[in-house]
Amino acid sequence: MSLPRREIIAASLQANGVIALVDTLDDAITCGNAYAPEHMCLAVADAWSLVPKIRNAGGIFVGENSPEAMGDYTAGPSHVMPTMGTARFSSPTNVNDFQKIISPLCCQR
């Protein structure tokens, strides 16, 4: 490989990268849900049919005409995304993060 930043890229991939070879799209979705990516790009035919199967992702980029850069800079969703697999239990920053919630409790006899 003759990339000018080859060593930096190789170190990053070794520390953080994952390449998963799967047999089916369902296997890919299972793998993706387990990894819980910050950004999930569905660059496949009939991408919308897969969206309901995604349970863990900060953002889903649906179809070949929905590049990640669109979400980062122009589409409007928050760019404060759950990283390092935290999409399993967390969401991108949204209006709910700025609301205060009080949970009333009562035990009556």
User: Residue 40 pairs with which residues in a beta bridge?
Assistant: 60
- Catalytic amino acids? 38-39
Q: For residue 88, what are the contacts with CB-CB under 8 A and spacing of at least 6? A: 36, 56
Torsion angle in degrees (nearest 10) through CA of 78, 79, 81, 84: 170
Span between the terminal Cα atoms of the chain, in Å: 74
